[in-house]
Structure 1
Amino acid sequence: MCPGKCALFIAVTLYPLALLSIACNILLFFPGWNTKYVKDGHITQEVKYMGGFIGGGVLVLFPALYIHLTGVRGSCGNRCGMFFSIVFAAVGVAGAVYSFSVALLGFSNGPLCKSSSMKWETPFKESHLAYLTEYKSWSHCIEPKNVVQFNMGLFITLMVASVLQGLLCAGQIINGLVGCLCGTCNKEEEA
Structure 2
Amino acid sequence: MCSGSFAKCLGISLIPLSIVCVLCNILLFFPGGNPVESEHITDQVWYFGGILGSGVLMIFPALVFLGLKNNDCCGCCGNESCGRRFAMLSSILFAAVGVAGAGYSVIVSAVAINHGPECVVNINNTVKHWGYPFSNGDYLSDKDSWPTKCLEPTGVVSWHLSLFSVLLVMGLIQMALCAVQVVNGLLGCLCGDCCGGSDGSV
Q: How does the TM-score come out when normalised to structure 2?
A: 0.86
State how 1:5-154 maps to structure 2 within 5 Å: 5-35=5-35, 37=36, 39-71=37-69, 73-74=70-71, 76=73, 78-117=84-123, 118-126=128-136, 129-139=137-147, 140-154=149-163
1:182 maps onto 2:191 in alignment: yes
Once residues 170 and 152 of structure 1 are traced to their aligned partners in structure 2, the CA distance between those partners, rounded to angstroms, is: 27
Secondary structure class of the residue paired with 1:124: coil
- Cα offsets for 1:49-75 (capped at 9, x unmatched): 00011001011111101111113x356
Q: 2:92 is aligned with what amino acid?
A: I
Preserved CA contact (<8 Å) 1:14 1:60: yes
Once residues 62 and 97 of structure 1 are traced to their aligned partners in structure 2, the CA distance between those partners, rounded to angstroms, is: 15
Change in Cα spacing, 1:48 to 1:40, as seen in structure 2 (3 Å) is: closer
Once residues 4 and 131 of structure 1 are traced to their aligned partners in structure 2, the CA distance between those partners, rounded to angstroms, is: 46
Preserved CA contact (<8 Å) 2:32 2:160: no
Structure 1 alignment gaps of length 5 or more: none
Once residues 184 and 71 of structure 2 are traced to their aligned partners in structure 1, the CA distance between those partners, rounded to angstroms, is: 17
Q: CA deviation at 1:32?
A: 2.2
Indicate the residue corresponding to 2:77 in structure 1.
none
Q: Which runs of 4 or more aligned residues in structure 1 lie more than 3 Å from their structure 2 counterparts after TM superposition?
A: 74-77, 185-189
Preserved CA contact (<8 Å) 1:74 1:188: no
Count of matched residue positions in the alignment of Structure 1 and Structure 2:
184
Q: CA deviation at 1:133?
A: 1.5
Once residues 71 and 58 of structure 2 are traced to their aligned partners in structure 1, the CA distance between those partners, rounded to angstroms, is: 23
Q: How does the TM-score come out when normalised to structure 1?
A: 0.91
Q: CA deviation at 1:137?
A: 1.4
Structure 2 alignment gaps of length 5 or more: 74-82
Q: CA deviation at 1:187?
A: 6.2
Once residues 119 and 180 of structure 1 are traced to their aligned partners in structure 2, the CA distance between those partners, rounded to angstroms, is: 58
- Cα offsets for 1:77-117 (capped at 9, x unmatched): 71111111100000000001000000000000000001123
Once residues 138 and 78 of structure 1 are traced to their aligned partners in structure 2, the CA distance between those partners, rounded to angstroms, is: 55
Indicate the residue corresponding to 2:79 in structure 1.
none
Once residues 104 and 188 of structure 1 are traced to their aligned partners in structure 2, the CA distance between those partners, rounded to angstroms, is: 43
